[in-house]
Structures are given as C-alpha cells and as structure tokens.
Structure 1
Amino acid sequence: MSEYTWPRVPLIKTREKLAARYEPADDYGFFGPDSMSWKVWSHSTSLVLGFVRSVTIEHLDPNLTAAVVQSGGVRYRTHSRYGRTMSYFSQVSFGASRPTAKAADVLVKVHSKAIGTDPVTGGRYDANNPDSQLWIHVTAWHSILYCYEKFGGGKLTEAEENQYWAECARAAELQTIDPATVPRSRDEVRAYFAEKRPQLASSEAAVDMVKYILSLHVALPPTMSKLQRLPFLPLTYILSKGVIATYPQYMRELLGIRQGRVTDAVFTPPTWLIHQVLERSFVLKYFLTSVIASPALPSAVPAMLGIPPKSTVTMTPREAQQKYGYANPQEAHLDFRAKQYDRVFDKGEKPSEEGLIESQAHIGSM
C-alpha cells in the first residue's frame, strides 16, 4: 500500500484555478442554485457532521445494522464507503440529471446485495425495502439540516424549510420510496421520528458500529501515515463531540453514549467556529473534501464555484427516469433482485456482487 499523497490545491487565484479543473455539468439536475438543497448541502457542516450524524443514528434500525454488518463495507473499507456515500448524495444534490438517474438506478442493484436475516428481530431485511429507504433518507436530510442550523448558517425561515422538505420529497423519487410518505414540514418530521421511536432498537453490533464511526479518523485515507494523521486528531476529536451533542437523550441511552450536557456546551462553540472558518476559506473546504470524500468533488465543486452548466434546465427524477429510460426504482431490476433472493434465502449462497462492481463507474471506486 503506497503512502498517502496530499491533494494539490493551488494557492494563487484558487477559485479560478479550481474552476478550470472542472467541466460544466450538462444541466442543473433536480434542484439548481435557487434551491434550499444547494444552500444547505453545500455548507461545510455536511462534510462530516451531517453525514456522521445520519449514518450513526441510522444504526438504531436493526435491519440497517444487519445489512451494514453483513456487507462489512463500513468497517473494512471505511474511507471508500464514506466517499461513495458522499459521491451519491453529492450527485443527488448538485449533479446533472442523466448521470444521477443512472447512479440511482445502479444503486438499486447494489442494495439488492444487502439482504439476509436480522439476528435481532429474526426477520428478513432488504436494503431496498421502502421503509428502510425512507428511514435512511429522512435521517440524512434531517441530519444535514440540523447540523447546518446548529453549527452553520443558522435557522431557515419557515418558507425556506418548507421548500427544503419539498425538495427532500423530490429526491426520494430516486429511491425505492413512495414520495407520498416523505415528511414535508418540521412538524411532520417530528411526527415521523415519534412514530419510529418505538421501532428503534440497539444491539451489540449497533453500539460497536457507532463507536467505530464516531472515531472520525477512520474516514481518513488508509494510506495516511501516523505522522500525516496527527494534524487531524484535534479536529476529529472536537467534531466527534459535536456530532454527539446533536443526539437526543434517548438515542444516547440506546447507544450507550454517556456524553452529558456540560460536554455538549463545551464542544459546541469550537465546532461552530471550525465551520465558520471553513466557510470563509474555500481552499480549506476544498482540501478537507479532497482528503475525506474526493469522489464528491466532481458534482459539488462546479455548483459551489458557480460554474454555469451547459443547460439551465432542471427536472424531477421521474422526468429524468422517463427521459433516459430508467424504471421507477420501486420497479427497477426486479428479475435481478429475485435472483438475489433465490441465491441467499433458497440456496444459502452469497449474493452476486454484480451491482457493486458496476457501481464503481458511477459512485466511486471501492
């Protein structure tokens, strides 16, 4: 394994030089520069805080924990898994319509591999299950907004927040979710989490995975030497405490996290300050993204730098799926998904990795 090489970031006229590295997108995708998605998801609070908050809270769904542990991806290829997740969400938020629709279509095949029997409930889990997908989707969009308001740009107005949740419902068309089930306001989001709360459960596997992810240095490139990691240790320590400060008390109890309100109060100001600095220095923001989630750059950077696309068209995912010949994700690749069920549940074999292999061209290398 070769040693990590620091990303090259030009220091003179940085924004202009960076812009020259990136091709204009084909179109504005599903949202565009006037959207709340661009405003919130482009903030530096999304890079670590929002994503780590979402992927840790998600483990309170036993089915998701079983899928994560079974795949082994998070623990054994943490950096690439993190980068691929960031790449996909970056495409959804900022990417052009055609490649994003393709990435979403391939992701259905990727998720077809994550099936099996949940040792906690004894039932079957399927990552393409609409309820599981809704939990992941709402948790991600809520966490990104929560961290933005707490550590970033401040509270959205009521109109802005309603727009944000309307865009969340639009993005759900890229997954196996019924968009009608997506919350569309702060009150509906609260109601959703209240409804889910009795279904949430912890386990040794969930606690272990959350503890592992909260050690944020695991998202750093595995080829980094110990010396290269040293400058990041204070940052990852502060940010880890900042993530926990966003958890409600009942989630901390479920996950066995003992951080109290005094610690929350100590680490909230420096967490806020870090993100104010990042927002005032695009060089630092670009550098951090390059280190922890470089696959997100091709979609995000043109939007962040205001590089005009070839076409200013925006469309809904359903319009894109129809235009480019992709099925509604709920109905996509049903034959392939049935073959996966047959391999796993009837024959006791491992699922095919065909979708995982295909996905590398669309959401990043494994």
Structure 2
Amino acid sequence: METIRTAATVPTETDDGDAGLFGPDSVTWQVHSDPMMWVAGIRALYLQALHPRAVRAVMENSDFRRDAWGRLMRTANFVGTTTYGTTDAAEKAGARVRRIHRLLSATDPDTGERYAVDAPELLLWVHCAEIDSYLNVLWRSGFPLTRARADRYVAEHRASARLIGLDPDTVPASRSELAAYFDSVRPRLAAGADARAVDDFLRRPPVPLTLVPARELLWRHVAHLAYACLPAYAHELYGRPAPAPGVVTRRLRATGTLLRCVPAQVRWQLPPKHILRAVARLGPAARPAPRRAARPAPRRAAP
C-alpha cells in the first residue's frame, strides 16, 4: 500500500506509531535531516582513512573504487534507516552489518598480522569519526545547536554504536569524552599508502565522461570543503594544506545557507525517502525541525 502525503507518494512501513531508536524529539532526528550531512559524510571518510587498520580493512574487503556511489548510498541508507525507520528496521539493519563484518578480516600493513574487521578498536574509530564529522560540519555550517544539545547528540549515538556491535558503555557520551578519545588514538594514526589512495580517490573519483564537468564543478567543491574542515593534525598527516579555520567556517556557513534554501519537502523526495516514510508513519508532527535541536533539553523530574 502507499499513502499520499504532502503531494508525495511515500511507501508506508509497518508498526505505525513506532518512533524507532531515536524519535522525533531527539537531536539526531533533527540533525540527520540537514543537507550538510553529505559534506560531513565525506569528512568522515577522510578521517577514517587515517587509521591504518581501518582503512586496510576497507581496501581488502570493499570495491569502493568501482562502486563509490553505491557504497555512499548504502551508508546513507543505513543512517537513514537507523534514524527514521522503525525499531525493527533499525535492529535488522544493525544485525546485517554485524553479520557481514563478522565474516571479514584484513592484514595489518606494517606487521602482516591478520585481524578481524569487527574488532572493537576499529568499530569505535569508525563510529567516533562519523559522529565527530556530523557534529563538526553541521555546527560550523550554522545548524542551530546548543552545547547541551550537541552533548545529547553524542550520547544518543551510543544506540547506533550498539547496532554495529559495540558495548555502549565503552562509547563516548559527550563532546569532552569524544575529544579525549581522539587525543588517545592520535598516536596510532598515519597517512600511509592506503590513506593517500583514499585521498586521491575522493578528490578525483572516476566518473563517465559526460559527468566530468559536474565532478569538476560540484564534487570538487564538496571534497575540498570536507577535507578543509578536518582537524589540523589530519592536514599534517595528509601533508596537504588547508585554509585557516575561520575561512573554512565561513565557507561551511555559505554552503549550508545555499543548500538549506532548497525546501525540505523537495530535498526529502530524494531516495531513499526515509523522512517521508517516518512522517507518513507518525504524522505531520514528526517532521524534522532544526530549531528543535536548539532548544534546551527538557528537565526530568527528580526521582
């Protein structure tokens, strides 16, 4: 069956009324509706590639160079499902990821040691690089967030960490804990041959000849901006300079302002339409509203 809502035909899901892992009142529900998530996702790829074992696992077990768009869409679909899907859909998506990772291994590029792709150290790195990237890009691009809500966003994603196989108690639950985690892992980061291959690929992904102009005009801007908003230590490791942080923030704000001029109802029509499905399931009040993310978190009554 299909339901017509706000001039869009949106497939419905089962479990009407199930708000999923996060729900419309969560910070995640608002943040993940923003178009700057695409820039943040590319930043996360740059950052993730600096962990030698994590990027080696991708190189040995992924066809990202032949199917870059497909890989990006699968990641976006996972984030959309776990954010806006039903609880059952989110749990099944997590179980599928865990099942795939459980079967994979890779070889340490320095020692030759064989290791499991689902090692907690690697899962935690990938998770933290994503959350840090989403938060950094959206905040600097003008998405309305208070510090308390930013902390709440980090804490909410202990739920998504559990889905990929991590113990939530081992995952940062605030910006300060996230910063401490990055401080602890920095000595293990490096820009080896694998990281440089990812860098080269992200700057010039192979596309059909007819799409080369679009790559030069659009993708290059996105990739440069994503790289520019990495932390300073990442620029040092990659060996490529970046504009001053203030310049990068102004560019992020300008890009965010431009993308947010496209009406949400138009943006939400793009596949895979997770937000429209959620609104069809839960009603108009479930529409993401960025200003909700700026409100103070509700106080809980004392026990």
- Whole-angstrom CA distance in 1 between matches of 2:215 and 2:49: 26
Among the aligned pairs, what percent are the same residue?
27
Query: 276-285 or 191-200: which moved more?
Result: 276-285
Q: State the shift of 1:35 in Å.
A: 0.4
Q: State the shift of 1:270 in Å.
A: 4.4
Q: Secondary structure at the match of 2:7?
A: helix
Residue identity opposite 2:275 in structure 1 = A
1:153 to 2:153 alignment: no
Residue identity opposite 2:49 in structure 1 = H
Q: State the shift of 1:237 in Å.
A: 2.0
Aligned to 1:39: 30
Aligned to 2:294: none
- Whole-angstrom CA distance in 2 between matches of 1:283 and 1:35: 20
Aligned to 2:282: 309
TM-score by length of 1: 0.69
1:257 to 2:240 alignment: yes
Match of 1:17 among 7, 30, 33: 7
Aligned to 1:8: none
Q: State the shift of 1:24 in Å.
A: 4.7
* Structure 1 gap ranges (5+): 1-13, 313-366
**Conserved 8 A contact 1:43-1:152:** no
Match of 2:223 among 240, 252, 258: 240
Aligned to 1:111: 101
Match of 2:275 among 269, 292, 300: 300
**Conserved 8 A contact 1:151-1:272:** yes
- Counterparts of 1:124-273 in structure 2, within 5 Å, are 124-154=114-144, 156-215=145-204, 225-228=208-211, 230-231=213-214, 233-261=216-244, 268-273=249-254
Q: Which protein has the bigger helix share?
A: 1
Deviation per CA, 1:256-314, whole angstroms, max 9, x where unpaired?
A: 223342xx665654443332232232366347xx4xxx3xx2423334xx33439x9xx
Q: State the shift of 1:251 in Å.
A: 0.9
Q: State the shift of 1:184 in Å.
A: 1.2
**Conserved 8 A contact 1:51-1:144:** yes
**Conserved 8 A contact 1:130-1:177:** yes
Residue identity opposite 2:282 in structure 1 = P
**Conserved 8 A contact 1:120-1:203:** no
1:274 to 2:263 alignment: no
Change (3 A) 1:73 1:173: same
Change (3 A) 1:42 1:72: same
**Conserved 8 A contact 2:13-2:281:** yes
- Counterparts of 1:57-96 in structure 2, within 5 Å, are 57-96=47-86
Q: Considering only aligned residues, what root-mean-square deviation do their CA atoms show, in Å? A: 2.5
- Whole-angstrom CA distance in 2 between matches of 1:228 and 1:254: 31
Q: Secondary structure at the match of 2:241?
A: coil
**Conserved 8 A contact 2:46-2:227:** no
Q: State the shift of 1:139 in Å.
A: 1.0
Q: Secondary structure at the match of 1:30?
A: coil
Q: Secondary structure at the match of 1:75?
A: coil
Q: Secondary structure at the match of 2:115?
A: strand
Residue identity opposite 1:230 in structure 2 = P
- Whole-angstrom CA distance in 2 between matches of 1:227 and 1:246: 30
Match of 1:56 among 46, 60, 83: 46
1:285 to 2:285 alignment: no
- Whole-angstrom CA distance in 1 between matches of 2:203 and 2:246: 18
Aligned to 2:298: none
Residues matched between the structures, number:
278
